[in-house]
Amino acid sequence: MPKGDMAGDMAGDMAGDMGGDLAPKIDLQGVGKRFVTREREVEALQPIDLAIQDHEFVALVGPSGCGKSTILNMIAGLLPPSAGVVSYDGAAIGGLNRAVGYMTQKDTLLPWRTAADNVRIALELKCRAMPWDEANERVAQMLTLVGLTGFEKHYPAELSGGMRKRVALARTLIYEPETLLMDEPFGALDAQLKLLMLDQLQDLTRQRRMTVVFVTHDLGEAITLADRVVVFSARPGRIRAIRPVALPRPRDVFRIRFTEDFAHLHESLWDELKDEVTRGTEV
Amino acid sequence: MAAALSTPLGRTLARVALALIILAAWQYLPSANVRFWMSGPIEIVARLLVWLRDGSLWENVGATLFAMALGYAIGTATGIAIGLLLGLMPRLNRVLSPYIAALYAMPKIALAPLFVIVFGIGLESKVALVAITVFFLVLNATLDGVHNVDRDLTRALALMGATRLEVIRKVLIPATLPWIFTGMRIAVRYAFTNTLLAELIASNSGIGFMIEYYSGVFDATGTYAAILVLVIMSVGLTELLTLIETRLAHRGANR
Ligand SMILES: Nc1ncnc2c1ncn2[C@@H]1O[C@H](COP(=O)(O)OP(=O)(O)OP(=O)(O)O)[C@@H](O)[C@H]1O
Ligand SMILES: [Mg+2]
C-alpha cells in the first residue's frame, strides 16, 4: 500500500481511513469468468484475488482481450462471475451495483439527446431530483470542465469520438458516484487534451474522495493517476504484477512524466507488460 | 413539338389537352347502349353537383373518414400500448409470438363478414376491421422497436439509479418512437383501403357504400361519380402523407 508515501493535504486522513485492516471497498476473491458461446468456450479471466480500498485509485493495464472490461462489468453487477465472489462494501454483488458510476468502453450516450441533455440525465432521476436551474448550472460547469462549452446543443452523432468520450465522462462525473469505473476514458484524445483531462480527473476524484478503478492501455496515464497499477497477463487474464505508485500527491500531471521515479516505474511496468503484449498478439 | 414538351408550361398544356381529348371522346363517341354502363363526364359532374347540394357527398365522405380515423386511433393506441407491454414482458411475448405472427400474416379482410355478424352493418363493423388491421401493424412495429433498443443504453440508465419506469420513459420509448412512427405511417394506407373494403362488403354509409350501392342499381353515373370522389380522396391522403414525411425527414436531417 502506498499510504506511507502519500504527501499533500489529503494524505493524513486518507492514511487514517486505509490504516488498520478495514474491509476493502471492492473485493474480488477467486473471481474468474468464462464465456460460453454456441460453438466454444472462452476463458476470459482466470481466478484472481484483488482488494481495492476505500478512496483508492487503481489502474488496470494489460493486453487487449485479457478481461479488463469484464472485471469492470462484474464490479458493476452487469455480469455474474463464473467463479468466486465479487463483494462491494463487504456484501456479495447480486444484480446491478448502483453505487458505482460506470463509464463504459463504448459510450452509451442517448442519440436523441443533445450533449447537455445527455450530461443532465442522471440529475433528472427521482433518486437525485433537483431544481431544473441547479441541474442546468451543474451541466454547464461539467461541460466547461471537459472543455465542451459551445457544444451543448450538439447531438452525439455531430461530435467527434473524443468529444463523445468527454460527454460520457461529464455524464458520469456529474452525479459524483462514490465509486468510479472507467474503461479507457481518454483513448481517443490527443496528448495535450489528455493531460488536461487527467488533471481535472485527479482534482475531482481526490476532492470527492472517490474510489476509482481505471482501465487503460497507457502506462503513463496509469502511473500519473493511480495509487496502484495492476498488470494483467494476456488472455486468459491473470494478475501478473501489482505496483504501488509512490509518487506524492497532488501530482503535477504535466511534469510528473519527467521525474526519475516516474521513469523507473514506467520501465519496470513496461518490463512486465511487454512480454504479455507480444504474447497476446501471437494468439 | 418535342421541344415544347420539355418545358413545365408545355407539359402542363399537354396534360390538359390530353384530358380534354379523353373527356370529349368519352362524352361524344359512345353509342346509346354503351352509354348505359359508361355514363359521361357531363352527367358525372352534374351528379356530383346534386350530391353537393343535397349534402350526401359530405355525409358519405365524412362517414368514410370518420370510420377510418376512429379505427386508426383505436388500432394505434392499443398497438403501441400492447407492443410496449409485451416488449417489457419477454416471457409472455415468447409464449404469444406464434399467435401474433399468425394473426399478423392473416389478411384481415377475411374477418369483415364476421364483424358484420358481431357488430351489425354500420360504423362499428368498419371500425373493427380498420382497428384490427392497424393494431397488428403498429404492434409489430412497436415490438421490433423494443427489441432493437440497445440494452447497453437501458443498463447504463439503470446503473445511474433510474427506476424501471424512468428507464421506460427516458430510453425505451424514445428509442422505439421512430419504429412506431414507421408503423403508423404504413398503417394509414391500410386503414384507408380497409375502410373502403368494409364499406364495399356491407355497410350503410361512406364512399365505398356509394360505389357499391349505385353499381348495385346499375346507375353508372352514380358509380363513376363516387369513384371520382374516391380518387380525389386518395390523392389528397397521399399528398398529406408525403407532406408530413418530408417535414419529418427534414427535421431528422437537421438533428
Ligand atoms: N459477452 C461475451 N461473450 C463472449 N465472450 C466475451 C464476451 N465479452 C468478452 N468476451 C471475451 O472475453 C475476453 C475478455 O474481454 P474483455 O472485453 O474483458 O477484454 P479487455 O481486456 O477489456 O480488452 P480491450 O483492452 O481490448 O478492451 C475476450 O477474449 C472476449 O472475446
Ligand atoms: Mg475492454
The secondary structure of residue A237, as a DSSP letter, is B
Cell 489529503 maps to which residue?
Answer: A10
B163 touches chain A (CB under 8 A): yes
pLDDT band per the 50, 70, 90 thresholds, residue A189 = confident
Type and span of the H or E element at A196: helix A191-207
- In this complex, do B159 and A122 lie within 8 Å of one another by their Cβ atoms? no
User: Which residues are CB-neighbours of B71 under 8 A, at least 6 positions away?
Assistant: B126, B127, B128, B129, B130, B131, B133, B134, B191, B194, B195
Give the DSSP letter of residue A218.
-
| Paired residues of A180 in beta bridges | A101, A212
Q: What is the pLDDT of residue B247?
A: 85
- The boundaries of the domain holding residue B155 are 54-204
Q: At what angle do helices B112-119 and B173-201 cross, to 10 degrees?
A: 80
Q: pLDDT tens digit string along B226-251?
A: 999 999 999 999 999 889 888 877 66
Question: What's B132's domain CATH number?
Answer: 1.10.3720.10
Nearest Cα residue in chain A from B157: A122
Q: Is residue B250 part of a domain?
A: no
Residue B252 has pLDDT above 70, yes or no: no
Residues in chain B, how many?
255
Region B100-110: mean pLDDT is: 91
Cell numbers at residue A212, please?
Answer: 476509482
Contacts of A97 in chain B (CB under 8 A): 159
A136-145, A271-280, B45-54 — which is least confidently predicted?
A: A271-280
pLDDT reported for residue A7: 42
Q: Domain tally for chain B?
A: 1
CA distances from B204 to A208, A244, B59 (A): 74, 87, 12
Buried b (16+ CB within 10 A) or exposed e, B66-100: bbbebbbebbbebbbebbbebbeeeeebeeeeeeb
Mean pLDDT (chain A) is 88
Q: Which three cell numbers stand for residue A82?
A: 463464473
| Helix pair angle (B173-201, B56-88), 10° resolution | 140
**What's chain A's Rg over C-alpha atoms?**
19
ipTM strictly over 0.90? Answer: no
Instruction: Please write down the HEC assignment for all residues of A11-33.
Output: HHHHHHHHCCCCCCCEEEEEEEE
Q: Does residue B229 fall inside a structural domain?
A: no
Distance, in Å, from the CA atom of B169 to the CA atom of B171, rounded to the nearest integer, reads 6
C-alpha–C-alpha distance, residues B228 and B233, integer Å = 9
Categorize the per-residue pLDDT at B2 as very low, low, confident or very high, splitting at 50, 70 and 90: low
3-state secondary structure of A148: coil
pLDDT at A280: 60
Residue A28 bridge partners (DSSP): A50, A86
Instruction: Give the residue from A5, A11, A188 showing the smallest Cα distance to A103.
Output: A188
Q: What is the pTM of this model?
A: 0.80
A202-213: average pLDDT: 92
The mean pLDDT value for A143-171 works out to 93
CB spacing of A112 vs B174 below 8 angstroms: yes
| Exposure string over A110-143, b if 16+ CB within 10 A, otherwise e | bebbbbbbbbbbbbbbeeeeeeeeebeebbeebb
Indicate whether B169 belongs to any domain. yes
Residues of A within 8 A of B167 (CB-CB) are none
Give the cell for residue B112. Answer: 369483415
Report if residue B59 sits inside a domain.
yes
Cell numbers placing B91: 416471457
- Out of A13-17, A43-47, B161-165, B214-218, which region has the weakest mean confidence (pLDDT)? A13-17
- Residue pair A227/A8 in contact (Cβ under 8 Å)? The answer is no
Closest by Cα among A116, A115, A104, A122 to A164: A115
Instruction: Tally the C-alpha atoms within 13 A of residue A166's C-alpha that lie toward its C-beta.
Output: 26
Hey, what amino acid is at A201? L
Q: Which residues of B touch A96 (CB under 8 A)?
A: 155, 158-159
Kindly state the average pLDDT of the residues A190-215. 92
Statement: residue A109 has pLDDT above 60 = yes
Give pLDDT, residue A39: 84
CA distance A259 to chain B (A): 39
Residue B47 has pLDDT above 90, yes or no: yes
Q: Which residue has the higher pLDDT, B76 or A15?
A: B76
In a domain, B97, yes or no: yes
Supply the pLDDT for residue A17: 45
The whole-number pLDDT of residue A19 equals 45
Residue A30, pLDDT score: 94
Ligand 1 pocket, A68 CB below 6 A? Answer: yes
Nearest to A25 by CA among A242, A237, A213, A250: A213
Contacts of B98 (CB under 8 A, 6+ apart): none
Q: Is residue B217 part of a domain?
A: no
Per-residue confidence (pLDDT) for residue B152, from 0 to 100: 93
In terms of DSSP H, where are the helices of B89-172? 90-105, 112-119, 123-147, 151-159, 164-167
Beta strand A91-92 pairing with A83-88: antiparallel
Cβ of A122 within 8 Å of Cβ of B160? The answer is yes
Grid coordinates representing B194?
380497409
The confidence score (pLDDT) of residue B101 equals 92
Would residue B34 count as lying in a domain? no
DSSP-derived 3-state class of residue B173: helix
CA of B122 relative to ligand 2 center, distance in Å: 63
Residue-level length of chain A: 283
3-state secondary structure of A125: coil
Q: Pick the residue whose CA is nearest to atom 17 on ligand 1.
A: A69
What is the pLDDT, as a whole number, of residue A282? 55
Please say whether the beta carbons of B177 and B214 come within 8 A.
no
Decide if pLDDT at A108 tops 50.
Answer: yes
* Residue B143 maps to a domain: yes
Q: For residues B22-51, give the mean pLDDT.
A: 90
**Nearest 5°: phi and psi at A79?**
-140, 130
Three state DSSP letters for B43-107: HHHHHHHHHHHHCHHHHHHHHHHHHHHHHHHHHHHHHHHHHHHHHHCHHHHHHHHHHHHHHHHCC
Is it the case that residue A21 has pLDDT exceeding 80? Answer: no
Q: CB distance A125–B155 less than 8 Å?
A: no
CA–CA dist A162, A167 (Å, integer): 9
